[in-house]
Amino acid sequence: MVNPTEIKDQMEVQGSDGKHIGTVDAIEGQRLRLASGGMYHYIALDMVDSVKDGAVRLNKTAAEATRPWH
């Protein structure tokens, strides 16, 4: 798992397919709170694969990561 201190507010969050999911709003416990489409959504920190080039990359595609939101 990635060190949560590497994740900063306003970082872009991408699926493993490179598609935009949202923007980091905060870290709450073991979850990222994302701002996406004017709403807040949550992603478990264990879904984070890497942090590089100013973006958080997940270990799931954008569709897989956002499926629980719908």
Domain boundaries, the chain: 4-59
pLDDT of residue 40: 93
68 Cβ contact partners less than 8 Å away, ≥ 6 residues apart: none
pLDDT of residue 31: 95
Place of tokens 């709403």: 39
Tell me the CATH architecture of domain 4-59. Roll (2.30)
pLDDT tens sequence for the chain (70 residues): 688 899 999 999 999 999 999 999 999 999 999 987 788 999 999 999 999 999 999 999 999 999 988 7
pLDDT of residue 25: 95
